[in-house]
């Protein structure tokens, strides 16, 4: 029912141009309960399931401890269809917005051209990355240039994250994409050594850029034609810490002794409620 679960923010992608610009011309119900009978059932069931609770609890705890000794990674895949003529090279939009937030109605939009897509006005954002796609003079090459970055440092599962990487793929309509697992993504940007909960602006007042996080030039898409899908993968990673591996070794060394002590404590408590 989700009574105790906080809703998750949604991650979305917005694109400045979705085609080449045209030339000008409820909850619980109350029921009667037999309190004494219920108490007896609880005592009996707790006595029966206590050993299983101990074992399952230890499995969960052990798994949690072990999890901290491994790298943690979560991926979010976003996409947008871009229209085009099959006789013409694919149209590269000028700007992409990647944002995770609790969206208000009509707060952001696609096809905003050279204007503002409205995402900057959103409150309580969790992740916000603005990317310019800068083309070469001959339109044969382009690169991804971040203009804005903000991240709270946690993914949508509330896991602490060390860094974010952005991957992209351009998939022509003729490929009949039906499974994102088949896409070969290419990493273009890695946001590392940036502070959480801090806004970064990479577009300077003179329309120049802070190029710290820009991608290399990309030429591999120049031969593609017509309508296509822009797919973006946001990869959030937390790296294991050396102390976590030490913690896991200590836990494993004392696991049997700890389980024995907890068993003894539970048995004492069960004796109390059975009297």
The per-residue pLDDT for range 60-118, each reduced to its tens digit, is 666 666 666 678 899 999 999 999 998 899 999 999 999 999 887 667 889 888 888 88
| Whether pLDDT at 25 is above 60 | no
| Whether pLDDT at 183 is above 60 | yes
- Listed range (16-30, 109-123, 165-179) with the worst mean pLDDT: 16-30
Sequence-ordered strand ranges (E) for the chain:
10-15, 72-82, 95-101, 127-135, 142-151, 163-172, 186-191, 200-201, 228-238
Q: Which residues contact 16 (CB under 8 A, 6 or more apart)?
A: 93, 94, 95, 96, 110, 111, 112, 113, 114, 117
* pLDDT at site 1: 41
Q: How far apart are the first and last CA of the chain?
A: 36
* pLDDT at site 2: 43
Helix (H/G/I), strand (E/B), else coil: 267: helix
CA 146, CA 188: separation in Å to the nearest integer?
11
pTM for this predicted structure: 0.71
CA 273, CA 275: separation in Å to the nearest integer?
6
Return the structure tokens found at 74. 């979560």
Higher pLDDT, 255 or 239: 239
């Amino acid at each position: 029912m989700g009574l105790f679960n906080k809703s998750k923010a949604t991650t979305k992608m917005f694109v400045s141009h979705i085609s080449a610009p045209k030339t000008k011309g409820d909850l619980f119900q109350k029921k009667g309960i037999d309190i004494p009978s219920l108490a007896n059932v609880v005592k009996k069931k707790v006595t029966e399931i206590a050993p299983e609770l101990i074992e399952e609890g230890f499995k969960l705890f052990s798994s949690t401890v072990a999890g901290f000794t491994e790298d943690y990674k979560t991926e979010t895949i976003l996409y947008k269809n871009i229209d085009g003529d099959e006789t013409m090279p694919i149209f590269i939009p000028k700007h992409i917005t990647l944002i995770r937030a609790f969206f208000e109605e009509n707060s952001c939009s696609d096809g905003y051209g050279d204007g503002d897509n409205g995402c900057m006005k959103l409150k309580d954002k969790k992740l916000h990355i603005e990317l310019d796609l800068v083309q070469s003079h001959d339109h044969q090459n382009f690169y991804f240039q971040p203009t804005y970055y903000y991240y709270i440092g946690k993914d949508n599962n509330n896991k602490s994250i060390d860094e974010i990487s952005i991957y992209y793929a351009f998939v022509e309509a003729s490929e009949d994409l039906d499974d994102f697992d088949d896409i070969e993504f290419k990493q273009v940007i890695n946001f590392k050594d940036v502070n959480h909960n801090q806004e970064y602006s990479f577009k300077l007042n003179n329309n120049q850029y802070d190029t710290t996080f820009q991608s290399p030039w990309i030429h591999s898409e120049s031969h593609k034609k017509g309508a296509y899908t822009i797919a973006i993968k946001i990869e959030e990673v937390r790296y294991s810490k050396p102390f976590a591996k030490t913690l896991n070794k200590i836990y494993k060394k004392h696991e049997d002794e700890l389980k024995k002590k907890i068993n003894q404590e539970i048995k004492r408590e069960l004796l109390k409620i059975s009297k």
